[in-house]
């Protein structure tokens, strides 16, 4: 590893150790945020008289020039200099001379990297929040476009009760709504400035941390220098929130995969989001949904990696913490990509309402409502449950559905059955009766759609 900072070493670092210790190959992406933090730090140093104002101005101009060099691909990253910070500082000294050596006054790479990552992560959270809104909007549009469609609801992957398709889609809207809440809460904890903690004990220079925080848009400053440079709980929380998003995307992916199969034939995913087979010309594979479902594992792995890295570290900074960034970057990149592709895929989906309607006539989904009917006639629910169970058993033996039974047969099981029982057995009637808040009745679902739209 680099001996650039210090004169106590006589020997050279082993080449493999340099390879082990370098991070610029992946943390170079933090350069824009590193430069933002350094500009704010330099301005504060000049304002406080810690360094000359002229030097501070030179540093700021030099950093802005380096930012342009990076943007245009002119800065060559040197792995021998280990990390993004050192590469930029060396480039600064080459550009403006000795004034560049004063930039690091009153700070350490420990609080510098913590600041860079918080700045970067805050922007990623904002992007993810925007992408969640885009996806939720696509879901609301999708649900509204199919407000009259009814499909089977499932428990244990068995036909349970009919529900509005829009109600089913809005279940995912609610999941992503909670994801947004988690990221909003996380953002408050990310938005704290660690700069000024220095290596781990603070700095003797008369710095103004609040000035730096204000310039960088942080809501506050860290309360404990040791905690600020050594903990990564905000990264763990980010990966946990990202894992939750991916889990929700995976559940919806699983349903789209099932629904698009010939056994269901509920939906057809657009050509732009499906692929063919190398040998079977009839195939239209839901690869996008499968890939999203598969990528959940890597985000879970990112969460596990950072949790495992931090769990045994004594205070304060340890070099292990360098290993946080690749997992964090991967989690952010993966969730952003999957959210974006999913939001684009939703409008491509064609709904097969006829197949869904046909499926509602399978699996005796009228059974609960038949039991409820007997309850309205005065029979205790547990007794009604048993009566309907025996009727279903008869149907399974005879190959019949519940609506195909005649009144005489039903009255053989209970005299409480009347002619109006058959009005109970349509999917529309079953759905319409679930008219409590949160239920699948059309009126409730239309209210939920309005509320969903308003929340966006």
* Confidence at residue 57, expressed as pLDDT on a 0 to 100 scale: 98
Are 285 and 396 within one domain?
no
Q: What is the pLDDT of residues 197-229, one digit of tens each?
A: 999 999 999 999 999 999 999 999 999 999 999
Q: How far is the C-alpha of 451 from the C-alpha of 224, rounded, in Å?
A: 42
197 shares a domain with 183: yes
End residue of a domain, out of 358, 388, 422: 358
Domain check: are 84 and 172 in the same one? Answer: no
pLDDT tens-digit map of 276-292: 878 887 888 999 999 99
CA distance 333 to 302: 11
What CATH number does residue 94 fall under?
Answer: 1.10.275.10
CA distances from 38 to 30, 61, 113 (A): 12, 11, 11
Is there a single domain that holds both residue 366 and residue 270?
no
Structure-token pair, residue 182: 């988690």
Say if residue 387's pLDDT is above 50. yes
Average pLDDT over residues 23-28: 94
**Which pair of structure tokens corresponds to residue 211?**
């000035």
Mean pLDDT check: name the lowest of 7-21, 71-85, 168-182.
Answer: 7-21
Q: What is the pLDDT of residue 1?
A: 47
pLDDT at residue 6 in the model: 57
Give per-residue pLDDT as tens, 144-174.
999 999 999 999 999 999 999 999 999 999 9
| Residue 385 and residue 298 in one domain | no
Residue 415 exposed, middle or buried by CB count within 10 Å (0-12, 13-18, 19+): exposed
Neighbours of 72 (CB within 10 A): 8
5: confidence class by pLDDT, cuts 50, 70, 90: low
Q: Are residues 225 and 240 in the same domain?
A: yes
Same domain membership, residue 376 and residue 263: no
Same domain, 248 and 335: yes
91-134: pLDDT as tens digits: 999 999 999 999 999 999 999 999 999 999 999 999 999 999 99
Kindly report the pTM of this predicted structure: 0.94
Split at pLDDT 50, 70, 90, the class of 14 is confident
Within-domain flag for 8: no
Q: Which long-range contacts does 26-32 make (Cβ < 8 Å, 24+ apart)?
A: 26/325, 26/326, 26/329, 27/83, 27/84, 27/113, 27/325, 28/77, 28/84, 28/87, 29/120, 29/329, 30/84, 30/113, 30/116, 30/117, 30/120, 30/325, 31/67, 31/70, 31/84, 31/88, 32/67, 32/70
Does residue 348 fall inside a structural domain? yes
| Mean pLDDT score of the chain | 95
Return the pLDDT at 9: 62
Q: What is the mean pLDDT of residues 267-276?
A: 94
Q: How many domains does the chain have?
A: 3
Catalytic center residues: 156, 277
- Whether 337 and 423 map to the same domain: the answer is no
* Residue 3 in domain: no
Model confidence pLDDT, tens digit, residues 36-91: 999 999 999 999 999 999 999 999 999 999 999 999 999 999 999 999 999 999 99
The residue out of 72, 105, 138 marking a domain boundary is: 105
Cα 339 from Cα 333, distance rounded (Å): 10
pLDDT at 246: 98
Q: Specify the pLDDT at position 280.
A: 83
* Position 193 in a domain: yes
Mean pLDDT across the stretch 327-355?
A: 98
Residue 71 maps to a domain: yes
Looking at the structure, tell me whether residues 173 and 65 fall in a common domain.
Answer: no
Q: Mean per-residue pLDDT for 352-381?
A: 96
For residue 2, being part of any structural domain is answered with no
**Residue labelled with tokens 């930039």:** 103
Query: Is 6 inside any structural domain?
Result: no
- Cα distances from 360 to residues 165, 363, 407, in angstroms, run 12, 8, 22
Full residue range of the structural domain in which residue 208 is found: 110-152+161-358
| Residue 298 shares a structural domain with residue 251 | yes
List the CATH number of the domain containing 376: 1.10.40.30
Q: Which of 358, 381, 412 is the last residue of a domain?
A: 358
pLDDT band at 21 (very low <50, low <70, confident <90, very high): confident
Per the domain annotation, does 337 fall within a domain? yes
Rounded-to-10 torsion of CA 382, 445, 366, 428: 140
The domain that holds 295 is classified in CATH as 1.20.200.10
Q: Are residues 414 and 310 in the same domain?
A: no
């Amino acid at each position: 590893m680099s001996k650039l900072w210090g004169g106590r070493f006589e020997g050279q670092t082993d080449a493999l150790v340099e390879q082990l210790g370098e991070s610029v190959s992946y943390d170079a992406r933090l350069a824009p945020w590193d430069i933002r933090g350094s500009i704010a730090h330099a301005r504060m140093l000049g304002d406080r008289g810690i360094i000359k104002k002229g030097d501070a101005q030179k540093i700021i101009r030099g950093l802005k020039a380096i930012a342009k060099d990076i943007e245009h691909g002119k800065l060559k990253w040197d792995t021998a200099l280990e990390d993004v910070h050192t590469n930029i500082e060396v480039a600064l000294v080459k550009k403006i001379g000795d004034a560049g050596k004063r930039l690091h006054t009153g700070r350490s790479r420990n609080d510098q990297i913590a600041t860079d990552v918080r700045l970067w992560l805050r922007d990623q959270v904002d992007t993810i929040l925007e992408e969640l809104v885009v996806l939720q909007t696509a879901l609301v549009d999708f649900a509204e476009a199919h407000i009259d469609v009814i499909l089977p609801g499932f428990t244990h992957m068995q036909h349970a009760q009919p529900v509005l398709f829009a109600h089913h889609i809005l279940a995912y809207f609610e999941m992503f709504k909670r994801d947004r809440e988690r990221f909003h809460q996380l953002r408050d904890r990310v938005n704290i400035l660690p700069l000024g903690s220095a290596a781990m004990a603070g700095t003797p220079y008369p710095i103004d941390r609040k000035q730096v925080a204000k310039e960088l848009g942080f809501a506050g400053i860290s309360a404990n220098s040791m905690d600020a440079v050594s903990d990564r709980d905000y990264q763990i929380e980010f990966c946990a929130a990202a894992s939750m998003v991916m889990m929700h995307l995976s559940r919806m992916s699983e349903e789209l995969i099932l629904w698009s199969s010939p056994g269901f034939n509920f939906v057809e995913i657009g050509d732009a989001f499906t692929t063919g087979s190398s040998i079977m010309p009839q195939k239209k594979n839901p690869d996008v949904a499968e890939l999203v479902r598969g990528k959940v594992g890597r985000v879970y792995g990112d969460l596990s990696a950072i949790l495992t890295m931090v769990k045994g570290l004594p205070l304060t900074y340890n070099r292990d913490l360098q290993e946080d960034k690749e997992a964090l970057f991967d989690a952010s990149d993966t969730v952003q990509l999957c959210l974006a592709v999913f939001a684009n895929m939703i409008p491509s989906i064609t709904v097969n309402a006829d197949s869904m309607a046909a499926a509602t006539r399978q699996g005796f989904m009228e059974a609960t409502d038949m039991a409820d009917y007997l309850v309205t006639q005065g029979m205790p629910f547990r007794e009604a449950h048993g009566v309907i169970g025996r009727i279903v058993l008869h149907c399974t033996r005879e190959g019949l559905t519940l609506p195909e039974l005649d009144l005489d047969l039903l009255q053989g099981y209970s005299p409480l059955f009347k002619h109006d029982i058959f009005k109970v057995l349509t999917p529309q009637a079953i759905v319409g009766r679930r008219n409590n808040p949160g239920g699948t009745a059309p009126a409730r679902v239309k209210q939920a759609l309005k509320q969903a739209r308003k929340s966006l």
